[in-house]
Amino acid sequence: MSQTEITFPNLFRNKYFILMTVIVAAAAVGMAGSLGPLIPLGVVVSLYLVVLLFRRPDFNVILIAFIIYTNTAVVLSKFHGVPQTVGYSLPLLLLIPLIWHLFVHKRKIKINFVFILMILYLSVMIMGSAFSRDVNLAMPNVINYVVEGLGLYFLLINTIRTPKLLKQVVWALLIAGTLMGGLSLYQQITGTFDNNYGGFAQVDTGFITEESIQGNVVQPRVSGPVGEKNRYAQVMSMLVPLGLFQAWGAQSKKLRLTALILTGLIIVGATLAFSRGAQVGFLILIITMALMRYIKIRELLITLGAVVLLLIAFPQITQRFSTLGDIFSSKEEGGIRNTDGSIQGRATEMLAALLVFRDHPIVGVGPGMFRYEMEEYSKIISLKNITGERQAHSLYPGVAAETGILGFVTLMGIFFYTLYRLNIARAYWLGRNQTGMANLCTGFFLAIISYMTTGIFLHLAFIRYLWLIIALAVIASEFRESDVPTEMDIAGKELDKVEG
């Protein structure tokens, strides 16, 4: 029996529900006269949303995935005065489908190997906090991991039980990315960078594209609802392979076209952040897809053509990307000292993190504590004078510095074990001519590769995005043929509904 069969059947045909609807509508009209239209509209939408959440428990999972990826909870708290407790409690809606699975369907709690590794990583973080310079400064990072990492992962693997629901969640993420990318594109076209559109289209500092007597021309860098340009590009880049493989695996032309359009807007949104790390990650993604033989000559030419069109539309991309070449230049003193300030700063931060790891090799200096060591160690490097608190700006040396060899090996184990399981699942589905499921696994495989690549240039932060994708990837890797209903099974369920 499917999850939606044990709900409130024919609820919208029920005469009492219709009567309640009329009463609520009448009350809303009355409230609109005295309070204005927005408040009663919000009340009505909220009531129907509550009904939907209990009538379709699976909808909770889709909604929460959308809220997480659009950063809605943070935006509501930061820009609209919603209490943080309300925003951060939204993922608790996943308890509704969890209760259905445990007490209605009598299903068991799922604990897998990645979850065990995550528990181990938590243990390392706790040990690192205990030995850090200030436990009170380190513990909030541990709590954040428990909530946005461990807790989110546990709820997702225990609520997404069917490939159908997983695919619906993927589509929700693609729609979320499209809305963010669409807003970024609209900002670029209209030049309305002074409008953050309710906090969902924030703008970070830009870079100079042209210098003249009249003044410098600055290209702003969009940061979407995330609020940080490079991180925005990273979370958008993870959606690109998911969108591409949804397009290639869709059964109808309309779905393929829809997925391609969504993916295109996601790519544009990621591009307008002008993140050099994301640009490198995109190139590596194309190379990886070519090595996996997913991109043939014709498709590679189409991809290159799309890239050329993107460069023509936004020539600032070329100017931004070209500064990476300064690292290898030999002008004047040569080498990295000739690069722009941001590259010098990041090089200093990465090297400082390695020195911290050298001095604290077992459990590191504690989660989130590297920034307090940054200024002291930057003096040893003497590449750029850095004052104040700064992050490592690279996932790998940053994790090594804060959690030591134990934490680094555990986190890398989570990454590579997930990739290993996805590769096995991909081969499994290809052997059974289930290209849709194989493409789903491949999409998550490349999404993780994208995160790991951009992680070279970004430290571990905004972890809810990472653990959301890891959870969905692990779920995809664990499905087998018995989890995918055949056409006969679907027809039988439809017949049961008619006879009922």
Written in H, E and C, the secondary structure of 80-128 is: CCCCHHHHHHHHHHHHHHHHHHHHHCCCCCCCCHHHHHHHHHHHHHHHH
**Residue 196 DSSP class:** -
Two tokens at 79?
Answer: 């820009």
Tell me phi and psi for residue 47, to 5 degrees.
-60, -45
**From the CB of residue 60, how many other CB atoms can be counted at a distance below 10 Å?**
24
Which of these ranges, 75-79, 230-234, 307-311, 355-359, has the smallest mean pLDDT? 307-311
Quick check: 375 and 386 in contact, CB under 8 A? yes
Instruction: Tell me the C-alpha distance between 170 and 208, whole Å.
Output: 37
CA-wise closest residue to 266 among 278, 254, 277, 255? 278
79 or 40: which carries more pLDDT confidence?
79
- Per-residue pLDDT, averaged over 107-136, amounts to 95
Residues 6+ apart with CB under 8 A from 143: none
Asked if the model's pLDDT at residue 222 lies above 50, the reply is: yes
Residue-wise pLDDT for 312-326, tens only, equals: 666 666 655 555 554
Residue-wise pLDDT for 14-65, tens only, equals: 454 455 555 555 555 554 454 454 454 555 555 555 555 566 778 889 989 9
Handedness of CA 112, 118, 124, 130 (dihedral sign): negative
Residue-wise pLDDT for 149-169, tens only, equals: 999 999 999 999 999 999 999
Residues 6+ apart with CB under 8 A from 124: 363, 403, 404, 406, 407, 410
pLDDT for 4: 39
Asked if the model's pLDDT at residue 263 lies above 70, the reply is: yes
**From the CB of residue 18, how many other CB atoms can be counted at a distance below 10 Å?**
11
pLDDT band at 348 (very low <50, low <70, confident <90, very high): confident
Quick check: 421 and 478 in contact, CB under 8 A? yes
